[in-house]
Amino acid sequence: MKKRIEKYSISPSMDGKKSKVHKIYLTVSVLLGMILAIGMPFFNEPDGQYHYVVSSNMVNLSNDISAYGEVGIGTGIDQQINAYQQGGYFQKYYLTKIVEMPMSKQPRGGLTEKPNIKSYNFLGHLIPALGVWIGHKVYPSIGVMITTARLFSVLINSLLMFLIIKYVKKGKMIFVALSLTPVTLNSFASLSYDSLSFVLVAWLMAIVINSLVDQQIKWWRWVELGVVSGAIYFGAKTNFKVLLLFIPALIAMFVFPRLYQKLSLFCSYLWRNKKALALSLLGGMGLIVVILIVLIGLRHSGVFYSIYRFIINYVVNLRDYLSVSSVFYNLLGSPYANINYTLAWVSMIWYIVLFAVLLSEDKFIKSKFISLASMVIFLLGITAVYYVYMTYTPTGAPVANLTILGQMQGLQGRYFTPTLFLLLFITCQEKFKIKIKGSKGILLFVTGTAVVTNVLLLFSTLFGAYYL
């Protein structure tokens, strides 16, 4: 009887003290991350050259990347294709030593100095920069320096997520799933500052979840919230700062109970009255859209042109590369659509995984206020990104004609990936009755999908470099 009780004490959703899901995550993340770190072409992450130049500059190892055929500090792997196809990759990138050069002589403007210490550009490159420095001590070539930095980044970021997954009391599987997507894991195995933003957002979400589970916030957790808020403000990308709106929501819950009671009553009314809820959401979204269009119109050729741009980008596929049509691919499955050559089903299966994981978690959210607040914050995060990129107008080939047509250029799914944590606060609401059972099956589904899709990411990218 005792054994039965102990066995049953393991929560069906992998939550609880006896859950080993964090250990499974660490093993899978490190193994797959190391494969990507060693196997993926250099600069495969968006703005890869930029991330390397900044990281090397931060540790006083600025070097002339044109020695490796990189004429500018841009993005992409085009300059490596000949080395892959002709068989001289190892010689060119791993044996050829760097040529150290002051940043003032680098070919891209704006990189003559080290980034501001209080910016996400600096803080997000700290781990890669340390990895670059270690790699230089091993052997001063760009191949050794980047590979070492990647491996170091994988180990540190995977370890941080391991601690967060172990720490969070509910919703562990959504942390595992989002951390093992090709988009996230490839950023872990790169020199990009995206990895730090993801980890910081995950940390904030874990603190919020634990506060809701405990139904109280002790003094030391307020300190945690203060630290993570400061870290996100300075160390995460700008659009993720909207997630700090959770802080006043928690303050209302635990510091001002009367105010929270009134808000809860209003939210309960909306939750019971589906018509009122739908009208409120539609009205809120409509208001946001109107404000967005007006603001954009004031900055970019008028309101009517802004409306036209928004509509045309969702009815015509103007260009699949870094446009609204590519967000579907690089939200979860393909870090860089025109480099990775991954098929649509890779992204689709991750949407299915995400859906299954969200519905498998315990219903631990009692506050309707928090669920509705998370929905609003989620929409605001999306709006913030679209606001930036509707006002962004690239020029020059090959986008000049498309700019005239009104294309929204520069949008990437990775800007939204960390915000998917917010969906947990909706599907784990106790009034949300849909529930998928079978934690072992969900875990197998997540890890199996992670292995297959990340290996395919490597294969398809290398296949493209050799043959396409």
CB 263 within 8 A of CB 355: no
Report which of residues 139 and 368 the model is more confident about. Answer: 139
Lowest mean pLDDT among 177-181, 213-217, 310-314: 310-314
Per-residue pLDDT, 212: 93
pLDDT of residue 156: 98
Q: What is the pLDDT of residue 275?
A: 67
Q: Binning pLDDT at 50, 70 and 90, where does residue 5 land?
A: very low
pLDDT of residue 66: 86
Helix (H, G, I), strand (E, B) or coil at 289: helix
Rg (CA), the chain: 23
Which residue did the predictor score with more confidence, 380 or 290?
380
Assign 396 a pLDDT band (cuts: 50, 70, 90): very low
Is residue 263 pLDDT above 80, yes or no? no
How many other C-beta atoms lie within 10 A of the C-beta of residue 332?
27
Where does the pLDDT of residue 6 fall: very low under 50, low under 70, confident under 90, or very high at 90 and above?
very low
Q: Residues 345, 347, 353, 357: what is their CA dihedral angle, to the nearest 10 degrees? A: -160
Which of residues 58 and 302 earns the better pLDDT score? Answer: 58
Cβ–Cβ < 8 Å for 173, 442: yes
Locate all alpha helices (DSSP H) within 396-438, ordered by sequence: 400-405, 424-427
Quick one: pLDDT at residue 8? 32
Which position has the higher pLDDT, 27 or 239? 27
CA atoms of 457 and 339, how far apart (whole Å):
10
Q: Which one, of 378, 452, 388, lies nearest residue 417 by Cα?
A: 378
Read off the pLDDT band of 9 (50, 70, 90). very low
Measured between alpha carbons, how far is 365 from 149 in angstroms, rounded to an integer?
40
Can you give the pLDDT at residue 116? 84
Closest by Cα among 413, 444, 416 to 323: 413
Largest CA distance in the chain: 74
For residue 409, the SS3 value is strand
Average pLDDT over residues 242-260: 88
Asked which of 94-108, 216-230, 343-357, 394-408 is least confident by mean pLDDT, the reply is 394-408
> Which of 45, 323, 324, 379 has its CA nearest to residue 184?
45
Measure CA of the first residue to CA of the last residue in the chain; give whole Å.
62
Per-residue pLDDT band at 308 (split at 50, 70, 90) = confident
103 or 277: which leads in pLDDT: 103
- Spatial neighbors of 25 by CB under 8 A, at least 6 apart, are 158, 161, 162, 165, 175, 176, 179, 180
pLDDT of res. 321 = 64
Q: Give the rounded percent of residues in the chain with a pLDDT score beyond 70.
A: 85
Least confident of 12-16, 39-43, 373-377: 12-16
Range in 215-219, 220-224, 306-310 with the lowest mean pLDDT:
306-310
Tell me, what's the pLDDT at 397? 45
pLDDT(117) > 90? no
- Determine the average pLDDT of the residues in 122-126: 95
Residue 453: count of CB within 10 angstroms of its CB: 24
Contact 100/56 with Cβ under 8 angstroms? no
pLDDT at 392: 67
Q: What is the residue-averaged pLDDT of the chain?
A: 85
Asked if the model's pLDDT at residue 288 lies above 80, the reply is no
Match 């550009």 to its residue by tokens: 121
Identify which of 13, 38, 20 has the alpha carbon closest to the alpha carbon of residue 162: 20
- 143-171 residue pLDDT tens: 999 999 999 999 999 999 999 999 999 99
Q: Which of 357, 335, 359 is nearest to 453 (CA)?
A: 335
Give the global pTM: 0.89
Count of H-run helices and E-run strands, the chain: 23, 0
